[in-house]
Amino acid sequence: MALAVNDSNFQDIVMASDKPVVVDFWAPWCGPCLMISPIIDELAAKYEGQVIVSKCNVDENNAIPMKYRVMNIPTILFFKNGEVVDKVVGAVPKKELDNKIASLIQ
């Protein structure tokens, strides 16, 4: 299952991580977010130990989505060494997300 990140733990979990990190910005009322939520959880299990897969609820957290200019959800940011290296906006097929995560660990 994906790890919940928020404004207060983002620095420790995402920015300070020695592993690549995927952050899914979502909201409970967002249909496309709910469609990809099970995919995010599946990928979290698949890449456990290699990549941190997380979710950030934009309704409960304002600072981080604002900092990364998250204007639409779902937005998925891919971090490596504390830097955004890739981004996906909208619901995309599992294979696309899987490929992007796989490229983080190569």
Catalytic residues: 30, 33
Amino acid of residue 73:
I
Residue pair 80/86 in contact by the 8 Å Cβ criterion:
no
Three-state secondary structure call for residue 42? helix
Q: Are 53 and 106 in contact (CB under 8 A)?
A: no
Tokens 């690549």, located at residue: 20
Q: How far apart are CA 49 and CA 43, in angstroms?
A: 12
